[in-house]
Amino acid sequence: MVFYLCSDKNDEMMIDQLLAHRTIRKYAEKHVEDSLLRKILEAGCRASTTGNMQLYSIIITRDEAGKKALAPCHFNQPMVVNASVVLTFCADFNRFNKWCKLRNAEPGYDNFLSFVTAAIDALLVAQNVTVAAESEGLGVCYLGTTTYLAAKIIDILKLPAGVVPVTTLTIGWPDENPEQVDRLPLDSVVHQETYKDYTDEEIRSAWCEKENRADSRMFVAENNKETLAQVFTDIRYKKNDNVVFSNMLLEVLEKQGFMNQ
């Protein structure tokens, strides 16, 4: 027997909303009401979660002082201080470990696998929160910088062992309506039954549209690069930076008790 949880009309509205997604980085000076935030968080926490353990915590930052403290951890991206709400999503085994100990059960979660498990839980909630927020007309921006300077965020948000921030969302009422950005063609990212590795021609074809967009060409020219790929490798996501931040994150995982101790 098949149970339909949504009507066809609601299904279509949901798909339309997902297809209309765009990151919002400019927010109006308008408060997101607590009741609305709570509704969005309730919906977010309905995301599937490993073993129904809910291995995440969400830290709400609303105070100006809190946002100002967090801003440098996100390389002073203006969204942090301008958004009505900043949410830091953390992989969290602390709460579950405490429950186990209280109930005479020995937790075995001080390992890397458990971090990945909890990080997946946290990211699923973050994406549910994103979809819920957008359905209410709010704008959202993820901040990948969370895992770069996680140690500082841990200090500021007073995160105990077993808790690691994995992503941040800034949320507010949109004050811009940006053009949608491109995606690779669906057939370039979907494989039938097994992974089909790419020929050079398929790689060229996958990136063709993106490389020929006016904004991409502008990026390349502005940065004095030969190709769009070089903008990524030489400017946006450089190897040296990746290695430095990677080592910092490994130290954080060790300190927070996720390195097979």
CA gap 94, 80 in Å, rounded: 26
Q: Which residue number, 22 or 225, has a Cβ lying nearer to ligand FMN?
A: 22
| Residues in region 157-186 near ligand FMN by CB under 6 A | 167, 181
Stretch that binds ligand FMN, among 56-64, 135-143, 207-215, 251-259 (CB under 6 A): 135-143
Q: Which of 141, 157, 163, 231 binds ligand FMN (CB under 6 A)?
A: 141
Buried b (16+ CB within 10 A) or exposed e, 59-84: bebeeeebbebbbebbeebebbebbb
Interface characters, 65-94, with ligand FMN (x: CB under 6 A): ------------x-----------------
Q: Which of 22, 39, 62, 225 binds ligand FMN (CB under 6 A)?
A: 22
Q: Which residue number, 181 or 235, has a Cβ lying nearer to ligand FMN?
A: 181
Q: Which residue number, 21 or 98, has a Cβ lying nearer to ligand FMN?
A: 21
Please report whether residue 145 would count as binding ligand FMN according to CB under 6 A: yes
Among 256, 32, 24, CA closest to 139: 24
Stretch that binds ligand FMN, among 18-26, 63-71, 114-122, 210-218 (CB under 6 A): 18-26
Q: Which residue number, 142 or 207, has a Cβ lying nearer to ligand FMN?
A: 142
CA gap 261, 251 in Å, rounded: 13
CA gap 237, 185 in Å, rounded: 23
Among 29, 28, 18, CA closest to 133: 18
| C-alpha triplet 50, 51, 52: angle, nearest 5° | 85
Q: Which residue number, 97 or 130, has a Cβ lying nearer to ligand FMN?
A: 130
> What is the nearest approach in angstroms of ligand FMN to the Cβ of residue 144?
3
Residues 6+ apart with CB under 8 A from 173: 27, 28, 30, 32, 84, 137, 138, 139
Q: Which residue number, 162 or 174, has a Cβ lying nearer to ligand FMN?
A: 174
Across the chain, the runs of DSSP E, i.e. the strands, are 56-61, 85-92, 139-143, 163-172
Please report whether residue 54 would count as binding ligand FMN according to CB under 6 A: no
CA gap 4, 71 in Å, rounded: 44
Question: In this chain, which residue has its C-beta nearest to ligand FMN?
Answer: 144
Please report whether residue 144 would count as binding ligand FMN according to CB under 6 A: yes
> What is the nearest approach in angstroms of ligand FMN to the Cβ of residue 230?
18
List residues binding ligand FMN (CB under 6 A): 21-23, 25, 77, 141-145, 167, 181
